């Protein structure tokens, strides 16, 4: 494949759209466990996760750091706590990833390892249900005194792991630990108890998962109560409060929120929790707040990579349109959070604008967080490097490696959603899945070269003909596409970014979708001072970058003519297989793939060649 395209500049001016998100969820995702991924881009990543990422996490948790020893010590009630006060959460997040991996690749040895960990976790639980190795080993008398100490955050991650493991294996030992911890929390806090504002959100969305799996509405109610604790001045974070309430999203009641503030990952988990509670309560005020927040995040505070959080100082948000490249924080966890949150927003409305952001954050901001081998991680994801920024196997604060460990094997979650009469295809990757259409079982098969080329073939198998809609997402980056059913051109109206193919489907029907995928130069919103006079290169869902390994001469002086022409070519042996983009004197690689070779400089936004501007 070798083609030449002349690029055109597009202005990335993102417009506000109306508030049409109110109400209960329109659609339900097809779970990753129902989807069997067989894809030239993703299958290798899932293999590396199974073989390398999980192994790194186990080794770090058991041998290189004291994370598992903390549980052993807490069970004995003696010994020191080592590491950070929220290190338990990494054990839980890795365990959640292991549970997902088991669903993709059954593995008795890995399951035995999970059971061993769960025994140790369970042994560290106090008789009243409380569980947290930091306070157990440093003084239980001080528990529940500092809202920034992540006790509920750790409980939330334990709950997500427990639900994942229960769904993967049917084993409920860890789930019972979580139920006892949740009941303990509800015996201390709540309308009849003490007030509490979790300094790091996470428990809210986890309690909704606990509600889903137990059917106990009290957990949903507690999640809603915790959300409504915020923004009333109840928060108290340690003796010497380093951060104001705005850092914790505790400045404004959740229903009145309209601007993202503070710590980026906390904000993402809060918005997910708001969406999850609203999905069951039908709370339109929460949804309206989420709509306002989405506009503010995406149109003023998001990088082209789908990453958020401009500053290392607060691991979060600074000011609108302040998007520095070299010092961009863009924590991997925040990009994963963007996927989680946009996926939830999509389910309320079926609006492709959420899937577009989900895809952007997935393929760029989040995927950059893990090496091609799956054994090294980025915590911070700048859009420019002077050569000193590299992936590491682990971090003192290891939230990002454990985040990627749980996120990657669950990518199958984001491909399909079902609604009353429609099957929605949100992401394109090769897979087979058992789904329903208009309540009837259907087997769907997707094959595609995405993200390297825009051809997608969908096949449907069913016992009886089924009347219903297949809704295929037309990504916002795509300006031209063709659509055919059984080889015949098919005119389908596009509603909110989805082509609606409404017909009676027969066994063996096929759909062929071809997206034009030219190389494009992208200009930032002119209010982003850092990117004035610069362009980024994008093709399909992928943002590209220049890396010194490909451009060794005069890297700092490289510029891009405004009328640049581009070629692109699939290189199977380069960086595990990429489409490389070239323009005279410049070689671009996908941003996610940088820092997998010799260390060097990198940049996403490239200055325009001075004498070519406005030609």
The entry of ligand FUB, Zn ion, none near residue 100 (CB within 5 to 8 angstroms by kind) is none
- Minimum Å gap between C-beta 293 and ligand FUB is 18
Which lies closer to ligand FUB via its Cβ, residue 347 or residue 361?
A: 361
Per the CB < 8 A criterion, the answer to whether 564 and 558 are in contact is no
d(CA 80, CA 75): 12
The site string for Zn ion over 363-382 (x = CB under 5 A, - otherwise) reads --------------------
Does the footprint of ligand FUB cover residue 399 (CB under 6 A)? yes
Q: Is 478 a catalytic residue?
A: no
Q: Which of 160, 204, 315, 469 is catalytic?
A: 315
Residues contacting 387, CB < 8 A, separation 6+: 548, 599, 600, 601
Which lies closer to Zn ion via its Cβ, residue 207 or residue 399?
A: 399
Of the candidates 125, 134, 99, 225, the one whose C-alpha atom is nearest the C-alpha of residue 179 is: 125
Which lies closer to Zn ion via its Cβ, residue 260 or residue 399?
A: 399
- Minimum Å gap between C-beta 446 and ligand FUB is 34
Starting at the earlier edge strand, list the strands of the sheet with 431-437: 35-37, 431-437, 440-448, 455-461, 510-515, 481-485, 488-489
Considering only 54, 333, 345, 357, the residue that binds ligand FUB (CB under 6 A) is 333
Percent helix, strand and coil across the chain, each rounded to 5?
40, 20, 40
Strand, helix or coil for residue 439: coil
Residue nearest to Zn ion (CB): 333
Of the candidates 163, 269, 259, 164, the one whose C-alpha atom is nearest the C-alpha of residue 219 is: 163
Per the CB < 8 A criterion, the answer to whether 475 and 359 are in contact is yes
Does the footprint of ligand FUB cover residue 265 (CB under 6 A)? yes
Strand, helix or coil for residue 473: strand
Report DSSP state, residue 449. -
Does the footprint of Zn ion cover residue 333 (CB under 5 A)? yes
Which lies closer to ligand FUB via its Cβ, residue 89 or residue 136?
A: 89
Backbone angles phi, psi at 263, to 5 degrees: -70, 125
What's the full length of the chain, in residues?
615
Which lies closer to Zn ion via its Cβ, residue 144 or residue 407?
A: 407
Binding residues for ligand FUB restricted to 133-162, rule: CB under 6 A? none
Which lies closer to ligand FUB via its Cβ, residue 291 or residue 331?
A: 331
In sequence order, what DSSP letters do the residues of 130-175 get, joined into one string?
A: ---HHHHHH-GGGTTS-TTS-HHHHHHHHHHHHHHHHHHH---HHH
d(CA 197, CA 232): 10
Does the footprint of ligand FUB cover residue 271 (CB under 6 A)? no
d(CA 354, CA 342): 5
CA–CA distances in Å: residue 333 to residues 288, 315, 408: 25, 11, 12
Considering only 30, 277, 400, 521, the residue that binds Zn ion (CB under 5 A) is 400
Tokens found for residue 572: 């199977």
- Minimum Å gap between C-beta 165 and ligand FUB is 22
The entry of ligand FUB, Zn ion, none near residue 55 (CB within 5 to 8 angstroms by kind) is none
Half-sphere exposure of 290 (CA within 13 A, CB side): 32
CA–CA distances in Å: residue 379 to residues 298, 396, 399, 583: 21, 11, 8, 31
Of the candidates 445, 425, 446, the one whose C-alpha atom is nearest the C-alpha of residue 352 is: 425
**In the beta sheet, which residues pair with residue 582?**
567, 587
Residue with tokens 């692109």: 568
Which lies closer to ligand FUB via its Cβ, residue 145 or residue 506?
A: 145
Does the footprint of ligand FUB cover residue 397 (CB under 6 A)? yes
Binding residues for ligand FUB restricted to 300-329, rule: CB under 6 A? 315
Residue 343 Cα to chain centre, angstroms: 9
- Minimum Å gap between C-beta 316 and ligand FUB is 8
Q: How many CB atoms lie within 10 A of CB 29?
A: 21
Considering only 85, 86, 117, 428, the residue that binds ligand FUB (CB under 6 A) is 86
Q: Which of 57, 333, 399, 478 is catalytic?
A: 399
Which lies closer to ligand FUB via its Cβ, residue 201 or residue 351?
A: 201
Does the footprint of ligand FUB cover residue 331 (CB under 6 A)? yes
Residue with tokens 């362009």: 535
d(CA 399, CA 88): 10
Is the peptide bond preceding residue 451 cis, with omega within 30 degrees of 0? yes
Q: Is 399 a catalytic residue?
A: yes
Does the footprint of Zn ion cover residue 336 (CB under 5 A)? no
Does the footprint of ligand FUB cover residue 531 (CB under 6 A)? no
| β-pairing verdict for 510-515 and 606-607 | unpaired
Q: How many residues bind ligand FUB (CB under 6 A)?
A: 8
Which lies closer to ligand FUB via its Cβ, residue 150 or residue 209?
A: 150
- Minimum Å gap between C-beta 268 and ligand FUB is 9
Does the footprint of Zn ion cover residue 399 (CB under 5 A)? yes
Which lies closer to ligand FUB via its Cβ, residue 87 or residue 547?
A: 87
Report DSSP state, residue 531. G
Half-sphere exposure of 159 (CA within 13 A, CB side): 27
- Minimum Å gap between C-beta 84 and ligand FUB is 8
- Minimum Å gap between C-beta 394 and ligand FUB is 13
The entry of ligand FUB, Zn ion, none near residue 315 (CB within 5 to 8 angstroms by kind) is ligand FUB
The entry of ligand FUB, Zn ion, none near residue 457 (CB within 5 to 8 angstroms by kind) is none
Does the footprint of ligand FUB cover residue 406 (CB under 6 A)? no
- Minimum Å gap between C-beta 245 and ligand FUB is 16
- Minimum Å gap between C-beta 403 and ligand FUB is 8
The entry of Zn ion, ligand FUB, none near residue 90 (CB within 5 to 8 angstroms by kind) is none
Considering only 67, 200, 360, 391, the residue that binds ligand FUB (CB under 6 A) is 200
Per the CB < 8 A criterion, the answer to whether 267 and 316 are in contact is yes
The entry of ligand FUB, Zn ion, none near residue 292 (CB within 5 to 8 angstroms by kind) is none
| H or E segment and range at residue 2 | strand 2-6
The entry of Zn ion, ligand FUB, none near residue 86 (CB within 5 to 8 angstroms by kind) is ligand FUB
Which lies closer to ligand FUB via its Cβ, residue 137 or residue 333?
A: 333
- Minimum Å gap between C-beta 240 and ligand FUB is 18
- Minimum Å gap between C-beta 91 and ligand FUB is 14
Residues engaged in binding Zn ion (CB under 5 A): 331, 333, 399-400
Footprint of ligand FUB (CB under 6 A): 86, 200, 265, 315, 331, 333, 397, 399
Catalytic residues: 315, 399
């Amino acid at each position: 494949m070798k083609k030449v395209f002349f690029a055109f500049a597009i202005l990335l001016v993102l417009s506000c759209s109306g508030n049409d998100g109110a109400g209960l969820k329109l659609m339900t995702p097809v779970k990753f466990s129902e989807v069997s991924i067989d894809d030239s881009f993703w299958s290798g990543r899932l293999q590396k996760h199974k073989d390398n990422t999980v192994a790194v996490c186990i080794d770090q948790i058991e041998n290189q750091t004291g994370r598992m020893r903390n549980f052993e010590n807490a069970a004995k009630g003696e010994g020191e706590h080592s590491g950070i006060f929220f290190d338990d959460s990494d054990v839980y997040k890795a365990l959640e990833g292991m549970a997902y991996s088991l669903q993709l690749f059954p593995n008795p040895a890995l399951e035995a390892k999970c059971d061993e960990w769960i025994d140790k976790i369970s042994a560290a639980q106090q008789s009243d249900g409380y569980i947290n190795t930091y306070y157990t080993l440093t003084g239980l008398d001080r528990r529940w005194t500092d809202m920034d100490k992540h006790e509920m955050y750790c409980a939330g991650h334990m709950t997500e792991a427990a639900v994942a493991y229960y769904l993967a294996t049917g084993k409920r030992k860890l789930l019972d630990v979580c139920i006892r911890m949740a009941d303990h929390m509800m015996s201390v806090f709540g309308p009849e108890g003490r007030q509490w504002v979790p300094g790091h959100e996470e428990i809210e969305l986890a309690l909704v998962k606990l509600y889903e799996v137990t059917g106990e509405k009290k957990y949903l109610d507690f999640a809603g109560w915790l959300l409504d604790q915020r923004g009333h001045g109840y928060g108290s974070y340690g003796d010497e409060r380093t951060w104001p309430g705005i850092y914790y999203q505790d400045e404004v009641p959740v229903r009145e929120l309209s601007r993202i503030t503070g710590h980026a990952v906390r904000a993402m988990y809060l918005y997910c929790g708001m969406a999850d509670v609203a999905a069951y309560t039908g709370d339109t005020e929460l949804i309206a707040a989420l709509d306002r927040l989405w506009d503010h995040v995406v149109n003023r505070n998001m990088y082209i990579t789908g990453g958020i959080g401009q500053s290392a100082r607060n691991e979060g948000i600074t000011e609108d349109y302040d998007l520095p490249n070299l010092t961009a924080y863009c924590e991997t966890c925040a990009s994963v959070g963007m996927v989680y949150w946009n996926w939830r927003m999509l389910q309320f409305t079926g609006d492709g604008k959420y899937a577009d952001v989900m895809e952007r954050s997935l393929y760029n901001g989040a995927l950059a967080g893990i090496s091609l081998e799956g054994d090294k991680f980025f915590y911070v994801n700048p859009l420019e490097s002077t050569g000193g920024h590299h992936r590491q196997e682990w971090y003192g604060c290891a939230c990002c490696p454990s985040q990627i460990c749980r996120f990657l094997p669950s990518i199958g979650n984001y491909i399909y959603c079902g609604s009353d009469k429609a099957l929605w295809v949100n992401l394109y990757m090769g897979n087979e899945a058992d789904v329903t259409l208009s309540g009837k079982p259907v087997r769907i098969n997707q094959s595609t070269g995405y993200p390297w080329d825009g051809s997608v073939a969908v096949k449907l198998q069913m016992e009886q003909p089924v009347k219903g809609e297949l809704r295929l997402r037309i990504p916002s980056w795509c300006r031209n596409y063709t659509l055919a059913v059984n080889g015949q051109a098919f005119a389908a109206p596009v509603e909110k970014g989805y082509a609606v193919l409404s017909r009676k489907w027969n066994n063996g029907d096929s759909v062929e979708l071809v997206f034009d995928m030219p190389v494009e130069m992208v200009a930032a919103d002119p209010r982003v001072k850092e990117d004035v006079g610069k362009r980024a290169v994008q093709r399909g869902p992928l943002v590209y970058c220049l890396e010194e390994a490909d451009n060794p001469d005069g890297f700092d002086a490289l510029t891009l003519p405004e009328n640049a022409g581009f070629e692109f070519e699939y290189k199977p042996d380069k960086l595990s297989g990429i489409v490389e983009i070239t323009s005279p004197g410049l070689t671009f690689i996908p941003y996610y793939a940088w820092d997998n070779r010799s260390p060097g400089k990198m940049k996403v936004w490239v200055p325009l060649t001075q004498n070519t501007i406005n030609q």
